[in-house]
Structure 1
């Protein structure tokens, strides 16, 4: 059973290898996620949130890891990372929102599975290399024979092989294993490291001590042979590591309860004495802070040299784990030093090594063709086998230069590689194959120099930069090897859309391991004002030079002209996408800057516009079911930002629409074009809100009656006890739906966040509060998705389900829909609906901001009433000394007239009927006021001056 499951898993990922190169993210482990607690937080802070998710099995992922060391800047604390099991049907986006909403969690991520990079040697495709396949030609190519004259390493240097299981009995591997004599096979954890009988490595994927041979996965045996096959035994091949040993660590599951464990194996290897760790596996994309933390722990906390295969994609893509910080990324070349046909190339590649027809141990046949047991060999190709060459070279360097840190070993290997960019065959990849092809002899005998940029800080820090933005770039530089004189860092833009206005940093002389920064005088950059493609990547090149001819190039990327804008003029920073979403453009929360308040973390997990006319005609880009989202809206014009704008300190413009329904089709959209405007102010009294205005045009041949319009907001407000304890409420006097964080247990401080949405303009208000923990059978239950019928219900229920008690008494992950009902919208006609998105520390401040937003909308922004009301809604005389007549359209259905002062406070209200009302304002102080006419289905406002 174990072998069968392992075979199924292996051949599944190998069979999908070519298709996977087109995917943005690798597959994940269902029902399992990883989270990191913030410093000072305890697992108890998650109890309520985990209960709400029906989660179980919360456990510390790395309980035995080393604490951060202040003498190693940049080291991380893996003891705050936990793993948790969820019901398989739980959408990741919901789990992420609930857990982040506790305020106790730094990040929540799925656990990715990463592929082994084995590439079969196809004889037809590789027919010209047949003669090479019978020998270890690559040892001469990388100068291994001469390097062994300098050192052959030592058995105390251990290379961690994180891969599939290894055939432990192979004639060229069995004597190279690193055994843990402190924990012999006796059923006890003799060395107290948390693992029982981990005498020969460990199977991290299945949590047992059997990391040995499996007939269906031989990748680990082949990788181990390249790095560490026995030398001078008169048998088979010679591993480059020579006398260095290896530790086998299985990372692929072969039991029903097993799962991919590549990064757990990296941590294990670092904690168990591996000075070098090899990773011949990975996938395109899927950047993970958890995975980066594991790498940083191994490389910085534990000072291990971490090496990874750059991938077999033949493309310029980021490939993880090779593209993480602190990793030596290794691509492949042929015997002629030309890039191998499948090798990945990018600016993150550090160096290359032979990756075609690599003769190594196979570990597949019990008896070889010659009749000898455990003696089979095979020639294979791929960066999987270039990577262990570099890992073995790192092991030799560690033995020869024990005083060097892991970062210095990486630097020495980079700077002693043979540059191959000048080869005509490599012209297309120049600058994207690292510093060159591995040369082990040079790495052991020369005294190179390397100063490098170890950190880049963009100010202001943003996920992407808009046309016309200016920014600063501060770098931290460290000299890794020999002292250098006259060091200079020059930054150059390789993109026509990004200009460097000040790009030179004269560092001067630097001793070994010295650091310097230009933070007080950073580089200055400017984004082109126009003509930039959407989501364009701009590359900056750091050219580092010093006296004596030293030159080294590094690269850093940033995104320009994103398909969203961020309004950040005041205390409420909000992302607006080109397709109607707020905060983020995807459910994973990776595209966009979110919604934050007063420099805090994101407080809106998901938000966006909702339109509906029937339970089956709904338009949105919100969650649906199965972790997916609807895609009703498509962009008509990229979101743009103007700063300052004609009416506000920042203004945004967006245009999008949904599909026009056709009779007889299955299209379930409404058929409306949307022009969205957004306004933000930096002035006092206007810093806690952003106004969103939507102009809606009916594109269909039918009258939409009625048309429902609303904003969905899944708030995640931080609270003092760290649990997902939010509640929802409704202020009917203001048409304001809001959420707030509940106070914690006795003795803990009160919550510090309120957030909500106020209807400023439209028809009859609608507010629907949704409890994230609603049981099965509830009218709306987000735990199993958000259906069209549920979205229509939330929009069309008026205020009957405002649910002032949603989330009470214990708190929950609550959401709200705040919207309006428009009685009709004829074909070709347009109407306008407006909302204010608000946040504040207290309810009183939230209400004051809601009133201020109404005042600003009525007095600062020009009102654009519907065509019917444009000439029929009047207030006169204006200015007035006291008497005022209010006149509304005959079919308006006037209910009440309110008067608001400049602070947005209601100072006078009077019931009304018909279409005329006379009021006396002479008793009020002189100044500007807002008259609100409240009808059955809408509210209209006019500014008036009292003299």
Structure 2
């Protein structure tokens, strides 16, 4: 493959993503998944589920991984992880639903593509400063010369460089490689490790034995030069690791069949005796349990020190793999210890190292630039080059303190830094640049350092987010990593006003080196504020660990509060409701929300939500459309809130949202309806299988909507014991109940075999059932998207399409709705549904009957009070509006409010009559409010 083609391939490759990939996450490998089986489960048990997904090439990722050991608390099992090839058009949420529905799988995830973290060597970049670019100033800055007087390391300490390929012939690298003499290049796997001729390392991305550099991916040579360039050879530069060796492992593809292999390289390095592993790559977001398992295996099972670049984002955020547990997150500073302009800062950063104008081995052949071959150097910048300085320091510490575990090496590096928070230039990032800047000399000589550390935080109840008013218990596991600590106390403090700490101190007492403790019997107690919390707030808690003699160490943990959804979980159904009409999740990735479950099942609703329509072009929803995207018709006007108990049920939820008002003379794509959503759940024995959803629809246009359709789209995924996803949909006309059920093998251990939606009130019932994978030409086919015309068809076809998936079963969806003959401007109508699930059809029908009875009971009401006459005419109006107040109302302020409650017109009147001009206001419904001395009157007015 020539130079240009390789570059094109690399750029195309890193830009591709899973079809439903959220924009906030890094790109993924198309058509490839990883899953982890639950302990003791064979992959053969998934055969039917894999066949349903058209999955192929299921391969065990790490068959040679060592098993977790009781002697290494926290170690993990990797042998249950498998990689699958699936159709590129298969959505991730669908794959998750099928595989998790078997009950045999812990997680299903895409494979993320992480990218190198460097700054380009352009004329205006920091890396070209003439006073620094020709010298290794950073060695003096981190006291490397003094450190080498203590130790220069040893060739038995190996740093795994997981990166782009390395120039194996460079004068400053070729003698520093850890060659595998047990497996010379002879076409035989002499050492029996499963890799043939891995003498120089391995190319994990392209699965061959050549980890040499690619001319377009030069990053690996530069990183290796920082950590491992040959010292005392009379030429070039000196790598901080000195006598320590490095193992080159290529993770970037340069062949058509290659793929990013950062995680695989970490496992390879750990399994091949790399005592330190460097990861100068990553991306914002995209937390992965698979990647966390890999990091835990390398750090705990294999006792390797993991070092990663914190990223070049100049933002406070999570960056992976640096932000995973057991990984040293390294950010960057300049030659004056000022934070690098682009460096990431956060509470998750452990320490910093120089990352500007770092002189290192060049990634390109000098002959291309007219110089001698393999004798060229460049100054580069970014956290990519701060990280290998810390990795090399870790290698020296491992040689100096051979008794240290990987966790202790990390603690020694953190506690021996030079504090830079006190520098005025860093005041804006204080406490978010870790413990300070790397000092290798202190790391090798300080033997009286202390560090106790919170290893794990366990919140109960265990939730990804907490709601206003929630009470939370917090248990922490603590370990002392270095010298003994007396009178250790852990205090938790909320750094936000939205969490109140009721009980925040834990006296751990005296802890010997490597001793552990936990506050199970005296957990911390927290209370979330009942109001005033902004949506999707990240609240930070600080752990302050203190001990006798002045020891103090801070750690931080984040808690998400007040999400834009609530969960009704007061009975056997647990239902997520969002502020904008969706059910189960607020995004197609299935990451925002808690799904829908029944009696502890996995999620049974892949996607669900409200559909409104008046024609094939006027449709409103937030459901899938095409190319992994969703429509965004609805916007929230009042966040969804949960009330417990409510006036009518044990749990209630309320939300207000609407779509846009069609503009006169333009092609209308929205319906023009404001929605008040209410949901009800009961805990009584005969009402535990359903949740009632009530939608009050108000016409906010100047025209009568006739007819208006309202319905719920439900992509149920009812599980089976064999994971076959053989579902069928049906219609019970007697109960106006549409439901989906499993046709797979009997599943006595699975509580949810049936689920459905019943129309309780409002309009004439409609139902439309269909196969999601219908062939081309079918009226509704989700494989090529879900168009507005298809959505309208599912709502407006009456009950002509009652069943789907028979006789063999299929992946089915169903829309249950109601037809309202007309809705005049300013008028409202209510449509009510019940969501339900049950282990059998008889139980589901009983739930439907109970839901009908429950909602037939009248709401508590107050005595009606006659409203005084308040006239506003003509209504609708083209602008002029005459107002007439009741007798004796007195002087008043009259306001015209839009649907958000914002005043758009205001005037005063002393008599009973007034005139307002509404000309110029957009068409729609407005509220006219008259505020008098003792009372307030309102009227709805439509502007044409």
> TM-score normalised to the size of structure 1?
0.87
CA distance in 2, matches of 1:326, 1:722: 35
Shift of 1:332: 0.5
**Residue aligning to 1:872:** none
Conservation of the 8 A alpha-carbon contact between 2:715 and 2:813: yes
Once the 2 structures are TM-superposed, how far is the Cα of residue 813 of structure 1 from its aligned partner? 2.3
Equivalences for residues 106-505 of structure 1 within 5 A: 106-126=106-126, 129-367=129-367, 372-447=372-447, 448-505=449-506
Q: 1:833 aligns with which of 825, 831, 834?
A: 831
Does the aligned pair in 1 maintain the 2:127–2:380 contact within 8 Å?
no
The 1:24/1:74 distance shift into structure 2, 3 A limit, reads same
Report the Cα offset of residue 94 of structure 1: 3.1
- Matches of 2:630 and 2:278, distance apart in 1: 38
Structure 2 counterpart of 1:711:
712
* Deviation (angstroms), 1:517: 1.5
Q: What SS class does the counterpart of residue 685 from structure 2 fall into?
A: coil
- How many Å apart are 1:230 and its aligned residue? 0.8
Counterpart position of 2:875: none
Change (3 A) 1:359 1:635: same
**Structure 1 residue 96: Cα displacement:** 3.2
Contact 2:725 2:744 in 1 (8 A): no
- Equivalents in 2 of 1:715, 1:191: separation in Å? 51
Q: Is 1:818 matched with 2:819? A: no
Q: Secondary structure at the match of 2:191?
A: coil
Deviation by residue 1:1-27 (Cα, 9 ceiling, x = unmatched): 1643442355679999xxxxx962112
Deviation digits for residues 685-743 of structure 1, max 9, x if unmatched?
A: 22221111000011222222222111111122232123323332322221122222334
CA spacing shift, 1:332–1:836, aligned 2, 3 Å: same
- Give distance in 1, aligned partners of 2:335 and 2:240: 17
Indicate if the aligned counterparts of 1:99 and 1:724 stay in contact, CA closer than 8 A. Answer: no
Aligned partners of 1:647 and 1:861 also within 8 Å = yes
State how far apart, in whole Å, the 1-side matches of 2:102 and 2:665 are: 47
Change (3 A) 1:187 1:379: same
> Which whole-Å CA distance do the structure 2 matches of 1:590 and 1:842 have between them?
29
The answer as to whether partners of 1:477 and 1:517 remain within 8 angstroms in 2 is yes
Q: Which residue of the partner structure matches residue 857 of structure 1? A: 855
- Which of 841, 844, 860 pairs up with 1:843? 841
- Residue matched to 1:649: 650
Q: Is the 8 A contact 2:166 2:211 kept in 1?
A: yes
Shifted more, 103-112 versus 334-343: the winner is: 103-112
- 1:742–1:751 Cα contact (<8 Å) kept: no
Partner Cα separation in structure 1 for residue 139 and residue 741 of structure 2: 66
CA–CA separation in structure 2 for the residues paired with 1:751 and 1:45: 20
In the other structure, the counterpart of 1:879 is: none
2:752·2:837 contact (CA, 8 Å) conserved in 1?
Answer: no
Structure 2 counterparts to residues 873-892 of structure 1, below 5 A: none
Query: Which residue is 2:795 aligned to?
Result: 795
Higher mean C-alpha deviation, range 99-108 or range 568-577: 99-108
SS of the residue corresponding to residue 670 of structure 2 reads coil
C-alpha distance in 1, partners of 2:661/2:94? 31
Q: Which stretch has the larger CA shift, 582-591 or 231-240?
A: 231-240
Post-superposition CA distance 1:143-167 (Å, at most 9, x none): 1112112221111111111111100
1:718–1:751 Cα contact (<8 Å) kept: no
For residue 102 of structure 1, what is the aligned residue in structure 2? 102
SS at match of 2:614: strand
SS at match of 2:686: coil
Quick one: distance in 2 between partners of 1:48 and 1:721?
A: 6
- Conserved? CA contact 1:315–1:345, under 8 Å: yes
Deviations 1:278-309 (A, max 9, x none): 11011111112222122122112211111100
- Kept in 1: contact 2:127–2:357 (CA 8 A): no
Quote the residue 2:49 is aligned against.
49
2:768 aligned partner: 768
**1:508 maps to what in 2?**
509
Q: Find the residue that maps to 2:831 and give its secondary structure.
A: strand
Indicate the SS of the match to 2:79.
Answer: helix
CA–CA distance in 1 between the matches of 2:748 and 2:575? 29
Task: Note if contact 1:357-1:379 (Cα within 8 Å) is conserved in structure 2.
Answer: yes
Deviations 1:468-495 (A, max 9, x none): 2222211111111121110001111111
Aligned to 2:542: 541
Moved more, 298-307 or 766-775: 766-775
Residue 129 of structure 1: how far off its partner (Å) = 4.0
SS in 2 for 1:575: strand
Offset, 1:861: 4.2
Give the structure 2 partner of residue 898 of structure 1.
none
1: CA distance, partners of 2:741 / 2:603 = 14
Kept in 1, the 8 Å contact 2:332–2:353? The answer is yes
The 2-side partners of 1:213 and 1:168 are apart by 8
Q: Is the Cα contact below 8 Å between 1:719 and 1:751 reproduced in 2?
A: no
For residues 702 and 138 of structure 2, the distance between their equivalents in structure 1, rounded to whole angstroms, comes to 72
Once the two structures are TM-superposed, the CA of residue 579 in structure 1 deviates from its matched residue by 0.4
- CA deviations on 1:365-416 (whole Å, 9 max, x unpaired) are 2449895431101111111000001011111111222222211111111111
| Alpha carbons 1:93, 1:627 under 8 Å: kept | no
Structure 1 unaligned blocks of 5 or more: 17-21, 865-947
Match of 2:582 in 1: 581
Sort the Cα spacing of 1:88 and 1:193 in 2 relative to 1 into closer, same or farther, 3 A.
same
Partner residue, 2:872 = none
* Structure-2 change in CA distance of 1:23 and 1:92 (3 Å): closer
Provide the residue aligned with 1:690 in structure 2: 691
Task: Give the 3 Å change call, closer, same or farther, for CA 726–44 of structure 1 in structure 2.
Answer: farther
Contact 2:128 2:357 in 1 (8 A): no
Q: How does 1:514-553 map to 2 (within 5 A)?
A: 514-553=515-554
Tell me, yes or no, if the aligned pair for 1:35 and 1:82 is still in contact at 8 Å.
yes
Greater shift after overlay, 551-560 or 370-379?
370-379
1:532 Cα shift?
Answer: 1.7
Aligned to 2:874: none
User: Scaled by the length of structure 2, what TM-score is found?
Assistant: 0.87
Distance 2:346 2:712 in 1: 42
CA deviations 1:124-158 (Å, max 9, x no partner) are: 45499422221111111111112112221111111
CA contact 2:126–2:381 (8 Å) conserved in 1: no
Distance 2:393 2:807 in 1: 62
Measure, in 2, the Cα distance between the counterparts of 1:46 and 1:611: 39
d(CA) in 2 for partners of 1:664, 1:2:
56
Report the Cα offset of residue 614 of structure 1.
1.6
Q: Distance in 2 between matches of 1:772 and 1:38?
A: 29
Question: 1:788/1:431 Cα in 2 relative to 1: closer, same or farther (>3 Å)?
Answer: same
2:599–2:751 contact (8 Å) kept in structure 1: no
Give 2:67's aligned residue.
67
Q: Is contact 1:368-1:376 (8 Å) kept?
A: no
Counterpart CA distance in 2 for 1:725 and 1:647 is 38
Aligned to 1:940: none
In structure 2, the partner of 1:598 is: 599
